[in-house]
Amino acid sequence: MDMRGIKAKSKAAPAQAVSAGGPRTVFSLSEEETLELGRGLGRALRGGELILLEGNLGNGKTVFARGIASGLGIAPEEVSSPSFTLVHEYRGGRVPVFHIDLYRLDGPEEDVGALGIEEILSAGGVVIVEWGEKLPPFLRRGGTTIRIHDVGEGSRRIEIAQDSAPAPRPRGDA
């Protein structure tokens, strides 16, 4: 630990966090460590998982997504923020990766529904959603939420929690 009480070695913790079932917190001291934490999680994924990335702009969500993709066998340099296209699909790894960025969506849940996220979730790949807090609760069910916090000097506190109580899907008139 350094003078701030931050663990210096935190690699492979996300993979343990997903399998442990309870929420966990790990620390990253650099962009490279954030990438490695994502890579550790990616190595543990098998397909069908939903990963929700949350945190302020510039906190490292895309870096973490790049690490997940790398752990799944996709070259990290191929992964970029899908802010303007909303969804990127990456093939060539162990399973397809669908990288979704909801940053630009401000509207109601119907806007999210228009992206076809339900179909993407049922495709069997790994789905990574940046700005996951914008995803309606019924689509978040069963997902792993990763909240990234800037703690200064390039360091990040990364909270990982598995959703254990799926939200019911809303029922409408139509």
Task: Give a three-class secondary structure readout of 34-69.
Answer: HHHHHHHHHHHCCCCCEEEEECCCCCCHHHHHHHHH
Banded model confidence at residue 107, pLDDT cuts 50, 70, 90:
low
Residue pair 65/99 in contact by the 8 Å Cβ criterion: yes
Higher pLDDT, residue 136 or 49: 49
Report whether pLDDT(152) > 70. yes
Name the residue among 51, 22, 48 with its Cα closest to residue 39: 51
Section 143-166 average pLDDT: 91
> Which residue did the predictor score with more confidence, 109 or 160?
160
pLDDT at 92: 92
* Distance, first Cα to last Cα, the chain: 56
So what's the pLDDT on residue 48? 93
102: closest CA among 76, 67, 142, 139? 139
What integer best gives the mean pLDDT of the chain?
82
Q: Residues 7-47: pLDDT tens digits?
A: 334 443 444 434 445 799 999 999 999 999 999 999 999 99
pLDDT confidence of residue 2: 36
pLDDT digits (tens, 9 = 90+) for 117-131: 888 888 889 999 999
> Number of H helices and number of E strands within the chain?
6, 7
The pLDDT of residue 143: 95
Residue whose C-alpha is closest to residue 31's, from 72, 65, 78 = 65
Question: Per-residue pLDDT tens for 36-91?
Answer: 999 999 999 999 999 999 999 999 999 999 999 999 999 999 998 876 778 899 99
Q: Which CATH class, in words, describes the domain spanning 13-162?
A: alpha beta
Q: Which of 147, 146, 144 is nearest to 163 (CA)?
A: 144
Q: What is the pLDDT of residue 156?
A: 97
Residue 41: what pLDDT?
97
